[in-house]
Amino acid sequence: MNGTSQMLVYLIAIPLFSAAFLLLGGRALDKVGHIIGTLASSAAFVIGLLEFFAMLGRAPENRGVTQRLFTWIEVGNFNVGASLFLDQLSMCFVLLITGVGTLIHIYSIAYMSHDHDRRRFFAFLNLFIAAMLLLVLGDSYLSLYVGWEGVGLASYLLIGFWNQKPAYATAAKKAFVANRVGDVGLSLAVMIAFVQFGSVSFSGVAEGVEAGKASSLALNCLGAALLLAAVGKSAQFPLQAWLGDAMAGPTPVSALIHAATMVTAGVYLISRSHFVFDVATIAQTLVLIVGAITLLFGAIIGMAKDDIKKALAASTMSQIGYMILATGLGPVGYAFAMMHLLTHGFFKAGMFLGAGSVMHGMNDEVDMRKYGALRKYMPITFVTFGLGYLAIIGVPPFAGFYSKDKIIEIALDAGGAKGIILGSITLLGAAITAFYMSRVMLMTFFGSKRWDAGTHPHESPSLMTIPMIILAIGSVTAGFIFNMGDRFVKFLEPVFHSEHGGHGEKAHLLPPIVVSALALTAVAIGVSIAIAKYGRGKEIPTVAPSDVSVWTKVARRDLLQDDLNEALFMRPGQELTKALAIVDEKVIDGAVRGVGSLTLDVASGVRKTQTGFVRSYALWIVVGALAILAAITLVTL
Amino acid sequence: MNIAAIVNNQTQSPEAVLFFILAPIMVLAALGMLVVKKAVHSALLLAVVMVGLAIFYIANEAPFLGIVQVVVYTGAVMMLFLFILMLVGVDSSDSIEETIKGQRIGGVLGSVGVGFLLISLLSRAELGQDYVGLDLINSEGNVQSIAKVLFTRYVWAFEVISALLITAALGAMVLAHRERILPRKSQRELAAERVRQTSIPVAGLPGPGTYAQHNAVDIPALLPDGSPSDASVSKVIAARGELANPANFRMKESNGNSANGEAGEE
Amino acid sequence: MSLDNYLYLSALLFTIGAAGVLIRRNAIVVFMCIELMLNASNLAFVTFSRMHGNIDGQLFAFFTMVVAACEVVVGLAIIVTIYRSRRSASVDDARLLKL
């Protein structure tokens, strides 16, 4: 199924060189940096489009293309080539990354226009694009790992872009550390793959799994390690705590990296490793559990957040939980996970950009309690955000409906109690999603003005609104387009080799139309509660009320995940470090100094025998001679 | 008579007589070295031991070594010792008190222990063969037989030891050499220095013995004003109190102005 | 008389020399005592040479003499140098390496 293409390398090389050029070029490029960055991203998008059309021109079975660059590592029989591999799965990502990425580049030109470090921002964005493309184009876990670390680095740099504020720098560090934990999983996975299969390339591992080279235990370990990696990168339970703080970065970053692309890398990793999870049932169940928990976790946190970006971040967490859950459902789920990923990429990026637009007009205020009644002042933002809102809560015919509905459907179809539990969770998630997104919508665009004095909301410039409009169009149409005649599922089918793929072969627990009705009912309930609570005539205090139930407090604190992490890892870590410092001070340094002072003490004691008189030394010689003679005498006696 | 002959592992009685006369003398001389105060006496006692050893060498059929012992040790080396003794002061004698605590007792005990063990080991040693003697080897002459071995089997050691000797000579030269810090003074500079200094008159001290009817060394000269000059007589004489009073030798008629008669007391 | 007597005498002289090295403080006397020890060993060499009818012992005594002469020359030069700077020939005064 492999053709070749000489274009793939340029996908990565152009943004990478652009990033290097912008970083090394210094202040001289300040005036044109954003243009260069945007052009690089656009060029990558154009190449991606060309590849996409070339791919469509080939038979479905021959759509994958590779490009071998050079031999990277050659040690003994361990041979890793630096090769790029583009198939349908990667293609989805390539288009999402470069497409949404380019739109966000354009948006950033205006959004960051007052920042004197705009050139650096664009360099980091380009670096992110390059790393993310390497992540999805690498043909082995090792190449993926490089991209994986690259996006982690770019994410770190961009979250801490305004690192003059200590809180932001700390948020960047937190994200980096949480990602490190996941990275351990990925490196473990690479090692397990090498030990078990002698290869780290996707095809090599897939063949190895098929040939039954590895025990079920090894496969489950491999799956669990991959899941850990995905959990770290995609902010899933229990490593989700970093995502909320990651909103410290500029809003375009939140849109691109922490909503549309990077955080979905975990979904990509699991989908790409479908051959592992298809046979590692325990790992697959873990995936399901993680997805289900995160889905609810994110949704509950989302209900309590007043910060618009953090509410959206919680929603991202929850939506990725949907995707992870879908991948955990096996071959039927991958395509829908990818579909939800793409539609989510559209509407969530659009909503983040909308949030950025609101902040832009509100003097960078993020507290929704100080918004209100903005629909008259920001009509374009209102409309695009509203379309994204309709998409995310899953109102037909917007994009989210198709993808989320399918996930709920296959979750219910998982069979037995599992199906019922998962289905209920997904339905509950849909209801909560509807509630908190309606809350965001109502608090921001409806109700009364609760602005701070001196705030003059205004619509954003067209450089910002045009990307929002394009994304809104995507939010509206993508689901319909993808779902028409199962087009998307069929497009991806060769990748996942799902003999029993698609859906509909299994007996449905409930007919699709009933599922849709249930989902819509859940959404309607969520929206109604939101309207009842925050709708017309309800006064919303500008300061979050403190006399709330303990559950709300817990939800406001990210369901205590930070406290848990601190209690479980940070505090013991600090105590351990303190103890180690004491050990270092007393034991190790003590031993070192003790050796020194012991030598000194012994020396100053022994020194007394050194009188400096040559005659006493001669006496000792005589004593020695005496001893030797005595020994000889004793021996000969 | 060949006193060196050995019969039944015993030497001839003349040799025994020689040994029992000389050996106690040598031991006493050696012990004397330890106890005499003056280094010169030690050196002389060492010379006695060396001569005794030379005689024993000859008795032990090593006439060449005996002669060398006399010439090199008793002659050259002892001369060197005495020469150095002269250089550092003949009377540089040790004080009797031992300054290092326990050194004397330790030294004596250690040495006695070593000697006792050495002698006891020797007495118990089984040499395991009869005495051979050097009659056969010395038949063509002791010097010839030494030369034959020295310049064949030991020629390498001989060369090395000659290099050592040369090195030692050079080393002694280097060690004894004193670096001159200031340039040597010329006669002109010495003369200028002498004129410039004030402690000794340039014209020299006044000579004693103005009144020549006595041994004049102890009689100070008179200065132009008639007073006696202390500088004209040796300080040693003055210190002994043997200075003569010039007033004693005045003419009787002119003793009225003898104001300085306190210098001497007969 | 047994030839062993020469060996006893040699051991005795050696011991006396050693005691002299330990007891006397004048560097020149110490040196003389060392000479005494060397000569004592020479006597043993010569005696063994005669006992075994082997001329090598005499050769060793000869070499010992040369080495002793070298040692005396250098040692006395050192004593002179020390005496020049410190006005003392006592071995106890030369202890500059001791703090």
3-state secondary structure (DSSP) of residue A557: coil
Going A192 to A198 to A204 to A209, the CA torsion angle's sign is negative
Instruction: Look at B114 and A622 and tell me if their CB atoms are within 8 Å.
Output: yes
Residues of A in contact with B113 (CB under 8 A): 626, 629
- Domain membership flag for residue C92: no
E strand or H helix that includes residue A441: helix A416-445
Q: What is the pLDDT of residue B141?
A: 87
pLDDT digits (tens, 9 = 90+) for C15-40: 999 999 998 888 888 999 999 999 99
| Rounded Cα distance, B92 and C30, in Å | 14
Query: Shortest CB distance from B39 goes to which of C29, C42, C67?
Result: C29
Interface of A with C in 586-625 (CB under 8 A): 607, 610-615, 618-619, 622
Does pLDDT of B152 surpass 80? yes
Poorest-pLDDT segment among B96-110, B121-135, C24-38: B121-135
Give per-residue pLDDT as tens, A208-221.
888 888 888 888 99
Q: Which residues contact B242 (CB under 8 A, 6 or more apart)?
A: B218
Residue C53: inside a domain, yes or no?
yes
CA-closest candidate to residue A373, choices A308, A449, A458:
A449
**What distance in Å separates the CA atoms of residue B117 and residue A628, rounded to the nearest whole number?**
10
Alpha-helical segments (H) within chain B? 13-35, 39-59, 63-68, 78-88, 103-124, 142-150, 155-176, 187-196, 235-240
CB A263 within 8 A of CB A234: yes
pLDDT level of residue B167 (50, 70, 90 thresholds): very high
Q: Which of A177-181, A309-313, B51-55, C2-6 is modeled with the greatest confidence?
A: B51-55
Confidence of residue B91 (pLDDT cuts 50, 70, 90): low
* Residues near B99 by beta carbon (within 8 Å), at least 6 away in sequence: C25, C92
Say how many domains are in chain C.
1
Q: What residues does each domain of chain B span?
A: 14-87, 135-177, 201-248
- Helix C27-52 and helix B13-35, axial crossing angle in degrees, nearest 10: 160
With beta carbons less than 8 A apart as the criterion, state whether B53 and C42 touch: yes
Yes or no, beta carbons of B121 and A622 under 8 Å apart: no
Instruction: Give residue-wise pLDDT tens across range C41-51.
Output: 999 999 999 88
Are residues B19 and B35 in contact, defined by beta-carbon separation less than 8 angstroms? no
Give A246-297 as a DSSP string: GGGS-HHHHHIIIIISGGGHHHHHHHHTHHHHTT-HHHHHHHHHHHHHHHHH
Place of tokens 């890398």: A265
3-state secondary structure of A79: strand
Map out the domains of chain A as residue ranges: 299-556, 564-636
**pLDDT score recorded for residue B29:** 95
Under the phi-then-psi rule, with left for phi > 0, alpha for psi from -120 to 50, and beta for the rest, what region is B107?
alpha
In a domain, C11, yes or no: yes
In a domain, residue C41? The reply is: yes
Residue C32 domain-assigned?
A: yes
Task: Give me the numbers of helices (H) and strands (E) for chain C, helices first please.
Answer: 3, 0
Question: Is the distance from CB of A403 to CB of A479 less than 8 angstroms?
Answer: yes
Among A607, A609, A622, pick the best mutation site for testing chain C contact (most C Cβ within 10 A).
A622
The contacts of residue A247 (CB under 8 Å, 6+ apart) are A171, A254, A258, A307, A309, A310, A312, A313
Residue B262 has pLDDT above 70, yes or no: no
- CA nearest C77: which of B188, B87, A519, A585? B87
| Average of per-residue pLDDT across B143-154 | 91
Which of A619, A623, A636 is closest, CB to CB, to B124?
A: A636
- Per the DSSP assignment, residues forming a β-bridge with A367 are A307
| Rg of chain A over all Cα atoms, to the nearest angstrom | 30
Domain that holds residue C48: 1-84
**SS3 for A461-513, per residue?**
CHHHHHHHHHHHHHHHHHHHHHHHHHHHHHHHHHHHCCCCCCCCCCCCCCCHH
Span A494-549, pLDDT tens digits: 777 654 444 444 556 677 788 888 888 888 998 888 888 887 777 777 777 777 77
Q: Is the pLDDT of residue B266 over 50?
A: no
Alpha-carbon gap, residue A128 to B94, rounded angstroms: 93
Residue in the block written with tokens 């004894």 = B176
For A625, the closest of B114, B120, B121 (CB atoms) is B114
Structure tokens at B115: 């000697």
pLDDT band at B104 (very low <50, low <70, confident <90, very high): confident
- C-chain residues within 8 Å CB-CB of B23? 5, 9
Output the domain CATH number for residue C80.
Answer: 1.10.287.3510
pLDDT of residue A255: 85
- pLDDT at residue A261 in the model: 85
Report the distance separating Cα A580 and Cα A567, nearest Å: 19
* C96 assigned to some structural domain: no
Under 8 Å between Cβ of A399 and A490: no
DSSP states of A18-39: HHHHHHHHGGGGTTTHHHHHHH
Distance from CA of B265 to the nearest CA of C (A): 40
Strand pairing partners for A11? none
Question: What's the pLDDT at A448?
Answer: 80
* pLDDT value, residue A4: 72
For A7-36, the pLDDT digits (tens) are 888 888 999 999 999 989 888 888 888 899
Asked if the structure places residue C94 within a domain, the reply is: no
What is the model's pLDDT at position B263? Answer: 47
- B95 burial type by CB count under 10 A (0-12 exposed, 13-18 middle, 19+ buried): exposed
The DSSP bridge partners found for residue A82 are: A70
| CA–CA min distance C89, chain A (Å) | 13
Q: How confident is the model at residue C96 (pLDDT cuts 50, 70, 90)?
A: confident
* pLDDT, tens digit, 9 for 90 and up, residues B205-258: 777 665 545 556 777 777 777 677 777 777 777 777 777 776 666 655 555 454
For B247, phi and psi rounded to 5 degrees? -60, -30
Q: Pick B14-87's CATH classification: 2.60.40.4070, 2.30.30.100, 1.20.120.1200, 3.40.50.300.
A: 1.20.120.1200
Which amino acid is residue A603, in one-letter code?
Answer: A
> Is C59 close to B137, i.e. CB distance below 8 A?
no
Q: What is the mean pLDDT of each run of 10 residues along chain A (637 residues)?
A: 73 91 86 89 91 84 79 76 84 90 90 86 92 90 90 90 87 88 91 87 86 85 91 85 84 85 89 88 89 88 86 89 88 85 88 88 82 84 89 84 85 82 89 89 83 81 87 85 79 68 55 84 88 77 75 74 78 90 89 92 85 86 93 87
Residue A372: the pLDDT is: 79
The better pLDDT of the pair B100, A143 is held by A143
pLDDT score of C43: 94
B30 CB-near residues (< 8 Å, 6+ apart):
B45, B49, C12, C13, C16, C17, C36
